[in-house]
């Protein structure tokens, strides 16, 4: 038999380096993972450089590469993808910018870049979108909340550029700098002026918003400034259905991943209770995957909590969340006529609290795969698998071949 459908399950930031707190094991090695190990044992495994050896991938560039869209051709910055993920329709040429709600003190210094990891910021974003006026620049803006403290800004107007700096100091105890153009282009200069004015007006709106007054009364940090970064200009993406002849869905709490799915034509699926953190509704996400396969041929699903634990430098939390993932994905092993593909998008070692260039584990379970001798799903065991070491750009060609959708090269 030949599988006809594909589930691409990306365990965000799951791979790591040896952790002293885990007796020299990685969190993935130390976790209780009977289901992931079964996928490895009954499938074919390998390790993967999602971009190329030695290149630290962003989540954005990694996911583009895994979907078969070479980042050096398609990537213009994270902003447009994040904006799409919040529900903003990004037309060709629009400028998209990532945003964080943050806290700035009376001294003008950033005290928390995530405003106490604030959630439910939709009312704040609505007040900003309705209150900010950029008509003096002949520009309109759309501002929407993402997951947690995240949001996205989209600008529409003539003559805008995207090569601008950020007002995010990337650390607490520092003042947010003015946004500056990175080139001498009039478009970049225009955009930097527009963004600085957006920050000024939005700060005035946030300073007196009733949500922030309530947060102060409750001893919580106010979300009283918007930090902007990752500006980019919306480009053109060949539809996934045209590229591969398959219709598909995307399931993710992260606006970025939802946005990547949307720009290539995957249908976003809403799942109650998914947060992009270790508190996410894992069973709800797995149920949604199974439901989508009734009508779709391809499902991209992202689980992000392990990445968050890596960024927090918490190997115990990362290990325990991986064990929870393993329990939750059990129903996926019973799927028929489907390739189940499990991999990371990048490594997020607890020791450096950031992405690294270490390759990620990969396992493919389903009809037609050449089963190798690997019995465990982790960074070390998968390196001995039949797929050996591949690049992220090779994944979709391998998968389309396994579901008999590849085209012969030559006569």
Per residue in 216-232, pLDDT tens? 999 999 999 999 999 99
Please give the mean pLDDT across all residues of the chain: 96
Q: What's the chain's Rg over C-alpha atoms? A: 22
Task: Let me know whether 108 and 145 are in one domain.
Answer: yes
Specify whether 58 is located in the same domain as 33.
yes
Q: Are residues 330 and 366 in the same domain?
A: yes
Q: Is the predicted pLDDT of residue 120 greater than 90, yes or no?
A: no
Tell me the mean pLDDT in the region 241-252.
97
Residue 410 lies in a domain: no
Is the pLDDT confidence value at 1 over 90? no
Q: Say which residue the tokens 């990362």 belong to.
A: 318
Mark whether 208 and 156 lie in a shared domain: yes
- What is the biggest distance separating any 2 CA atoms in the chain, rounded to whole angstroms? 73
Burial class (CB in 10 A: 0-12, 13-18, 19+), 405: middle
CATH number of the CATH domain containing 359: 3.40.720.10
Q: What is the pLDDT of residue 76?
A: 87
Q: Which of these, 344, 349, 341, lies nearest to 63 by C-alpha position?
A: 344
pTM listed for this prediction: 0.91
Full residue range of the structural domain in which residue 190 is found? 88-233
Instruction: Say whether both 227 and 265 belong to one domain.
Output: no
pLDDT tens-digit profile of 291-321?
999 999 999 999 999 999 999 999 999 999 9
As for how many domains the chain has, the answer is 2
pLDDT at 193: 98
Q: Are residues 70 and 209 in the same domain?
A: no
């Amino acid at each position: 038999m030949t599988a006809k459908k594909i589930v691409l399950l990306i365990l965000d930031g799951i791979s790591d380096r040896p952790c002293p707190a885990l007796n020299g094991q990685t969190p993935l090695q130390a976790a209780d993972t009977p289901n992931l190990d079964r996928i490895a044992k009954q499938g074919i495994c390998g390790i993967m450089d999602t971009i190329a050896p030695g290149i630290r991938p962003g989540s954005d560039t990694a996911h583009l590469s895994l979907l078969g869209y070479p980042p050096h051709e398609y990537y213009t910055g994270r902003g447009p993808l994040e904006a799409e993920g919040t529900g903003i329709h990004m037309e060709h040429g629009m400028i998209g910018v990532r945003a964080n709600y943050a806290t700035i003190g009376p001294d003008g210094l950033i005290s928390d870049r995530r405003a106490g990891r604030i959630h439910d910021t939709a009312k704040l974003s609505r007040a900003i979108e309705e209150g900010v006026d950029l008509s003096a620049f002949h520009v309109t803006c759309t501002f929407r909340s993402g997951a947690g403290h995240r949001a996205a800004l989209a600008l529409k107007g003539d003559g805008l550029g995207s090569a601008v700096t950020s007002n995010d100091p990337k650390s607490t105890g520092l003042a947010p700098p003015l946004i500056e153009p990175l080139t001498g282009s009039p478009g970049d200069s225009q955009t930097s002026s527009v963004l600085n004015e957006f920050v000024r007006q939005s700060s005035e709106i946030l300073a007196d918003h009733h949500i922030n007054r309530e947060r102060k009364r409750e001893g919580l940090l106010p979300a009283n400034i918007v930090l902007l970064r990752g500006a980019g200009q919306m480009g053109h993406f060949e539809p996934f259905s045209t590229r591969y002849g398959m219709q598909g869905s995307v399931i993710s709490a992260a606006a970025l991943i939802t946005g990547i799915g949307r720009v290539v034509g995957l249908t976003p699926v809403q799942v109650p209770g998914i947060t992009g953190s270790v508190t996410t509704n894992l069973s709800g996400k797995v149920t949604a995957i199974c439901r989508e396969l009734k009508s779709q041929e391809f499902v991209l699903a992202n689980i992000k909590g392990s990445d968050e634990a890596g960024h927090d430098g918490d190997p115990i939390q990362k290990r325990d969340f991986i064990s929870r993932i393993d329990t939750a994905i059990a129903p996926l092993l019973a799927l028929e006529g489907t390739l189940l593909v499990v991999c990371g998008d990048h490594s997020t070692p607890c020791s450096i609290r950031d992405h690294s260039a270490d390759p990620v584990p990969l396992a493919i379970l389903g009809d037609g795969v050449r089963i190798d001798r690997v019995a465990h799903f982790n960074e070390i065991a998968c390196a001995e698998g039949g797929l050996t070491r591949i690049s992220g750009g090779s994944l979709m060609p391998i998968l389309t071949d396994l579901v008999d959708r590849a085209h012969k090269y030559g006569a």
